[in-house]
Every structure is written in C-alpha cells, then in structure tokens.
C-alpha cells in the first residue's frame, strides 16, 4: 500500500508538465491508498511542495490553486499506517530545514527507537509517521552526498521500504532505493524522461523501457541517466525491458464503476485464463513450460497454498479440489498467520502462492519463509513483473487484465479457473482417467457461457439487492466448495457496503451462530453443491424455523428450495460441484455491488482499503 512516484523530465517537457505527469502517475497508483497525497520537487533550485488529505483530485486542485511548477519531483499517495489522516502525516516528509524530502512505501519497524535517538539530538518531529524518521536520519548523515547519506541510513533502518528522496542542494538528483517493497524505473526512449514508481500501472499509456530495483539496490536518477548500485555500493550493470501495455483495460468503458465493468468482463477473462491451456484430446491441462520440473509435481506428497483475502478464498476452494480430484493432501493457509506457525515444509511439499497483485507483503513473507526451508513455489499471479512473479520458482499468469477496483472480482474467478486447470494437471499425471479429465474440461469450457447467464439476470439481482439493502447483518452460508465461496461473498459485501456480513459453513450454524438468527439478519444460502444439497436444505429449514429471512442462490428449478426461501436467484444447473463456485460467485458479486450502490457507498475505492497490501 501507498504508492510512490517520481519524475525527471527529458527533452521538450516544461515545469508544469512535471506536476501534471506526477498527478497522472499518482492517479494510476491511487488504488494503493487514498488517505492523502503529496508532491515535492525542486523549482529554480528551491524546494517546493504541496500536500492534501483525501484523494488525488484534492491534491490536483491544490497544485492548480498554487500554480505549482517543478523541474523534477517525487510524489506519494498514502494508505495510513502510522498516524491519522492529516496534512502533517501526508508524504512527502522533510528534514528540519525543508531541504530534503522523502516519499515512502513500506514500514520502518524500528521507527520508535530511531525517533528516540534522533529526538535526543534535539531533532524535532512534526508527524506521527515512521517515514519522517527516514527524512531526519538521512539529513543527519547528509554532508553534500545524498546517495551516501541514504546508504548509511539504510543500515540503521529495520523494515521494508521503497523510497525516493531529493535534496535542494543536489537539484538534479533523485535517489531511489528498495527493500522488500516494489520499485520500478521507466525510461522514455524518445524523450529520455525518467519515471519512478511503485508499479508499472503508473506507466500505462506510455511506451517505456523499465527495470525493477531489487532488494537493497539504490538508483541515482539524474537527467537522462540512471546509475544503479548494489547493496555494497558498487556500480552495477542493468538491462531495461520494453513494457507492453493495454490502455483499454484502465477505462470504465461505459460502466458506472470499475467493479461492475470487471464483473461483466468475466466471460472474457475466464476465456483468456483457460485458452490454450488444456487438451481435450488428452483430457488434461497444458500449463506451458513451468520452471518447476514435472517430477516435483509428480512426487509432491503435500500441497500448501498461501494467500490472503480473496486469494486465500480461491486457495481454500482449490485445496478441496486438489484433495478430491488429484488426491493430494492440501492445506490452504492465510499467509499472514502461516509464518508464525513454525511450519513443517518438507522437500515433498509443493507450495502454491496466490496473489492478484503479486505484491501482498504477507504472502511474499510466507513465500520467502518456505523458500528458505527449501520448498519450490509456484506463483499464481495476475500482474506481470510483480514481486511474486519474480520471486516464485515458476509463475502462471491469470491473464485477467488489470483489476482496478479495489474489490477483487475477475481475478478471483480467473484464479479458480486456473487452479482447476492445475488440479486437472496434477490429477491426470497421477490417477485420473482420461474420460474424467475430458468431462472436467467440458464443464470448464462452459463456465464463460454460464457466467453470461448469470450476468443476464443482473436486473433481477439488482431488484433483490434493493430489497436486502435495508439489512445491517448478513450470513452467507454454504457447504463444501460453497463454504469458501460464501466467505468470499461475505467479504465482497462487507468491504464495499460496510455491512456486517459473515461467511459460515451451513452445518456449523447449529453449533453456536444460529443464536444470532432473527428477522433482522438476512441469510444468503449458496446451494451450489449437489453432494451436500440435502444437508444444506436441512440447514436452511433450521434458519427458517427461527424466523431468519433467506435468499438462496440455487440450481434452476429446485422446487423444494423455492418453498423454503423468500427469494431465489436461479443458477445454471449443468455444472460440476468443483466449478459451480465460479458462476455462484459472480451472482454474489452482483448482489454486493447493487447493495453498495443502493447504499451510496464508494464502490471502487472503499474506505480504509488499498488494492496492494504491501505492509505486513
Ligand atoms: C478483496 C481483496 C483482498 C485481496 C487481498 C490479497 O476483494 O481484494 O482481500 O484479495 O488483499 O491481495 P492479492 O491477491 O493481491 O495478494
């Protein structure tokens, strides 16, 4: 979370272009946090800056009002970690003479200790942030050489960072460095302008050559030039690579919100995820040249899936699929918890790390932990060039295109589609019959069409959402695959509508939570598993007997369910239990979207959230 940006113009760019470029770059990074934003730069050898609480548009108004011009600049969009949403806590942060400025993504873990040491030297602090400590520390070490001061400060700092710093006395220089946080540099081959960013999204619409700054590396960026240093301070060679970009993906394309656009993209994105990745003839998956050798897949005794939030939900579903179809013991673990369990990882453990962004700090930390124990990690990622894609032993991309809405939708269904192909692959290299593989592929190929059928019901789902929008409390219930699907459905609702929504295994309700059932609690029953249908119906009856209003998502034509529930969204029926989660999740996404819309919530950028969670 937090996005950093920096810009040194090349030929043909003026001082007002610099501010404009930074605002545009920040807007593309806004999904990483939108609590406040700020910019600082040098103009005619003087430090200038502007900050604003709230989204980038409020910073934009402020820089326009101040008619800010800069010769070069660093900029920031914040997701608050240390300190409230105030102008003082907004980045950039400065040294005491306002000659040095810094923007930061990450967390300085020993900020308290450093602050105490600096304060003992009479250095004053004006914010509650961990970042201000960096500004004051670098300034303490500065004796005319910003690079050397940053290198020295880095030795004192514990924690993670992507930093960009400037100093008024070195007006043509930006120093950028990273540890466990993403940082990318882009060079415009025509104008020679240089861009610094937390991710390549900020470069969309430009044909840049890019490089990723790796752990402990430091870059000195001046007009037309980048010099890279390793952790020991030695100059390094580097290669810039052309960045392929898809501009269409970052427009709303006529939809009111990115979330709705991304929900409606799903027939296409699932197609892109599965296209060319299976063989009907052999009834198996073809996942390309994986850098992990086949024998690792063949000999895996145990699979460990790591992820957070929605990606963990996808992993949870995949774990059941892998056990049931590939017959491999599999556990899906929440990455942030996993690290602290002293995990048992043997050489026969295959680790699958799932992350849309590929930047989730908890997932990356867990990946590093298992790699240190010798396990091979297969990444499942949407964002190309992301940290997970670079650090995993092999990576398979979702190909779902940029997901801009903070609330994940199309990435989740593509994760499920890809994980079902991976399951098929593992099942077929073990014991699954070809005919069974072919049957699975038949169902998978139908998924985009089934999603279309759900999307066609959007007007009906909208009407139901309007009815249910008056509830403050929701239970989403499911069994087997539909349990993690109900966790995901509840997460969607809570994150964009701020309602209290809990996903729960339907069979567990009677062991406690049924005490909460009342006419004021809406129950959404996800009845998509044939194997557990009867039991699910009993669980719905138990809720109904206690006066709980129920809306079901259920297979077309199930009369019994229709008699139990107040409302039903009819779902396609010709789908296997393993894949039913995909269309059911699409219906739940629409339901949450329309409730949030009815309640006038800020759908694409819900409060307190950020798309890339780059702090642990
Ligand atoms: C929910 C959501 C989050 C993410 C989680 C992990 O809609 O988007 O729960 O799934 O922060 O993010 P990635 O997949 O980027 O690792």
For the segment 30-74, what is each residue's pLDDT rounded down to a tens digit? Answer: 888 889 999 999 999 999 999 999 999 999 999 999 999 999 999
CB 164 within 8 A of CB 102: yes
CA distance 181 to 161: 5
Contacts of 56 (CB under 8 A, 6+ apart): 23, 26, 27, 30, 34, 37, 77
Q: Which ligand 1 atom lies nearest to the CA of residue 612?
A: 15
CA distance 306 to 225: 39
CA distance 25 to 4: 9
In this structure, the dihedral spanned by the alpha carbons of residues 571, 573, 574 and 579, taken in order and rounded to 10 degrees, is: 60
* pLDDT of the residue at 118: 96
Q: What is the mean pLDDT of residues 406-429?
A: 97
Predicted confidence (pLDDT) at residue 615 exceeds the cutoff of 80? no
User: How many helices (DSSP H) and strands (DSSP E) are in the chain?
Assistant: 19, 27
pLDDT level of residue 247 (50, 70, 90 thresholds): low
CB 310 within 8 A of CB 484: no
pLDDT in tens, 567-613: 999 999 999 999 999 999 999 999 999 999 999 999 998 988 887 78
Q: What is the mean pLDDT of residues 419-425?
A: 97
pLDDT level of residue 14 (50, 70, 90 thresholds): confident
- DSSP characters over 574-612: SS-HHHHHHHHHHHHHHHHHHHHHHTT---SS-TT--SS
Q: Which ligand 1 atom lies nearest to the CA of residue 307?
A: 16
Q: Which of 31, 305, 355, 356 is the pocket-test mutation for ligand 1 (most atoms within 8 Å of CB)?
A: 356
Atom 11 of ligand 1: nearest residue by CA position: 309
Q: Which of 440, 426, 414 is nearest to 586 (CA)?
A: 414
* Ligand 1 centroid distance, CA of 608 (Å): 14
Task: Report the percent of the chain where pLDDT is more than 70.
Answer: 99
Predicted confidence (pLDDT) at residue 547 exceeds the cutoff of 60? yes
Tally of CB atoms within 10 A around 547: 11
Q: Which of 360, 397, 416, 608 is the pocket-test mutation for ligand 1 (most atoms within 8 Å of CB)?
A: 360
Cα dihedral sign, 29-31-32-34:
positive
* pLDDT of the residue at 460: 97
* pLDDT of the residue at 81: 87
To the nearest 10 degrees (0 to 180), the angle between helices 309-321 and 482-497 is 170
Contacts of 337 (CB under 8 A, 6+ apart): none
* pLDDT of the residue at 151: 97
Predicted confidence (pLDDT) at residue 357 exceeds the cutoff of 70? yes
Mean pLDDT value across the chain: 94
Residue list, ligand 1 pocket, CB within 6 Å: 308-311, 355-357, 360, 363, 407-408, 491, 495, 613
Between strands 376-381 and 394-397, the pairing is parallel
Predicted confidence (pLDDT) at residue 248 exceeds the cutoff of 70? no
Output the CA angle 288-294-300, nearest 5 degrees. Answer: 125
CA 554 to chain centre: 30
Catalytic residues: 2, 611
Predicted confidence (pLDDT) at residue 182 exceeds the cutoff of 60? yes
The residue to which tokens 């810009």 are assigned: 7
Q: Record the tokens describing residue 449, joined without a space.
A: 């069409």
471 vs 385, higher pLDDT:
471
Atom 9 of ligand 1: nearest residue by CA position: 309
* pLDDT of the residue at 245: 59
Q: Look at the chain and count its residues.
A: 616
Q: Record the tokens describing residue 90, joined without a space.
A: 């907004």
249 vs 126, higher pLDDT:
126
In order of 192, 313, 403, 598, the CA distances from 410 in angstroms are: 36, 14, 7, 22
- DSSP characters over 217-255: -EEEEETTEEEEE-TTS-EE----EEPP--GGGGS-TT-
CA distance 459 to 442: 29
* Ligand 1 centroid distance, CA of 444 (Å): 24
* Ligand 1 centroid distance, CA of 1 (Å): 12
Q: Which of 65, 73, 67, 92 is nearest to 21 (CA)?
A: 73
pLDDT level of residue 183 (50, 70, 90 thresholds): very high
Output the CA angle 109-220-198, nearest 5 degrees. Answer: 50
pLDDT level of residue 249 (50, 70, 90 thresholds): low
Atom 16 of ligand 1: nearest residue by CA position: 355
CA distance 543 to 523: 8
CA distance 379 to 391: 9
* Ligand 1 centroid distance, CA of 382 (Å): 11
pLDDT in tens, 284-308: 999 988 888 888 888 899 999 999 9
Q: What is the mean pLDDT of residues 233-249?
A: 80
* Ligand 1 centroid distance, CA of 356 (Å): 7
Burial class (CB in 10 A: 0-12, 13-18, 19+), 192: middle
In order of 170, 476, 534, the CA distances from 512 in angstroms are: 65, 15, 21
Tally of CB atoms within 10 A around 230: 12
* pLDDT of the residue at 246: 58
* pLDDT of the residue at 128: 94
């Amino acid at each position: 979370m937090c996005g950093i940006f920096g810009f040194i113009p090349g030929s043909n760019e003026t001082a007002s272009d610099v501010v404009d470029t930074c605002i545009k770059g920040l807007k593309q990074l806004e999904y990483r946090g939108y609590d406040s934003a700020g910019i600082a730069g040098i103009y005619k050898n003087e430090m200038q800056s502007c900050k604003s609480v709230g989204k980038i548009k409020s910073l934009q108004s402020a820089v326009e009002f101040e008619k800010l011009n800069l010769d070069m600049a660093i900029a920031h969009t914040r997701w608050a970690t240390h300190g409230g949403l105030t102008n003082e806590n907004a980045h950039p942060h400065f040294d005491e003479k306002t000659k040095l400025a810094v923007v930061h993504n990450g967390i300085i873990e020993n900020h308290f200790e450093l602050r105490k040491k600096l304060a003992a030297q009479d250095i004053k602090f004006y914010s509650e942030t961990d970042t201000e400590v960096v500004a004051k520390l670098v300034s303490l070490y500065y004796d005319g050489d910003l690079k050397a001061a940053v290198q020295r400060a880095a030795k004192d700092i514990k924690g993670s960072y992507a930093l960009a710093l400037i100093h008024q006395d070195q007006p043509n220089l930006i120093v950028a460095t990273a540890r466990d946080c993403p940082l990318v540099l882009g060079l415009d081959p025509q104008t020679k302008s240089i861009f610094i960013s937390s991710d390549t999204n900020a470069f969309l619409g430009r044909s840049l050559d890019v490089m990723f700054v790796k752990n402990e590396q430091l870059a000195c960026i001046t007009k037309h030039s980048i010099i890279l240093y390793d952790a020991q301070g030695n100059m390094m060679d580097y290669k810039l690579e052309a960045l392929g970009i898809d501009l269409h993906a970052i427009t709303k394309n006529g939809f009111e919100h990115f979330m709705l656009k991304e929900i409606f993209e799903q027939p296409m994105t699932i197609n892109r995820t599965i296209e060319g990745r299976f063989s009907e003839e052999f009834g198996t998956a073809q996942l390309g040249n994986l850098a992990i050798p086949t024998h690792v897949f063949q000999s895996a005794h145990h699979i460990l899936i790591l992820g957070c939030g929605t990606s963990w939900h996808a992993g949870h579903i995949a774990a059941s699929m892998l056990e049931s179809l590939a017959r491999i013991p599999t556990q899906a673990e929440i990455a942030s918890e996993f690290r602290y369990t002293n995990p048992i990882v043997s050489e026969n453990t295959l680790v699958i790390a799932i992350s849309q962004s590929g930047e989730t700090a908890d997932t990356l930390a867990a990946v590093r932990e298992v790699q240190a124990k010798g396990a091979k990690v297969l990444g499942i990622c949407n964002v190309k060039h992301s940290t997970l894609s670079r650090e995993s032993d092999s990576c398979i991309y979702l190909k779902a295109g940029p997901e801009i809405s903070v609330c994940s939708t199309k990435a989740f269904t593509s994760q499920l589609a890809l994980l079902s192909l991976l399951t098929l692959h593992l099942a077929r290299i073990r014991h699954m019959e070809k005919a069974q593989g072919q049957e699975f592929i038949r169902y998978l190929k139908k998924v985009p069409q089934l999603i279309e059928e759900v999307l066609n019901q959007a007007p009906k789902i909208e009407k139901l959402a309007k009815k249910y929008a008056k509830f403050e409390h929701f239970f989403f219930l499911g069994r087997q695959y539909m349990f993690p699907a109900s966790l995901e459905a509840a997460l969607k609702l809570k994150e964009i509508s701020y309602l209290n929504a809990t996903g729960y295994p339907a069979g567990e309700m009677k062991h406690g939570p049924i005490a909460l059932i009342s006419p004021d609690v809406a129950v959404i029953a996800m009845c998509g598993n044939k194997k557990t249908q009867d039991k699910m119906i009993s669980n719905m009856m138990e809720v109904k007997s206690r006066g709980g209003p129920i809306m079901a998502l259920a297979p077309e034509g199930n009369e019994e369910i229709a008699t139990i529930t107040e409302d039903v969204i009819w779902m396609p029926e010709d789908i296997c239990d393993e894949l039913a989660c995909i269309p059911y999740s699409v219906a739940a996404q629409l339901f949450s979207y329309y409730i949030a819309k009815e309640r006038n919530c800020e759908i694409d950028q819900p409060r307190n959230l950020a798309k890339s969670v780059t702090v642990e």
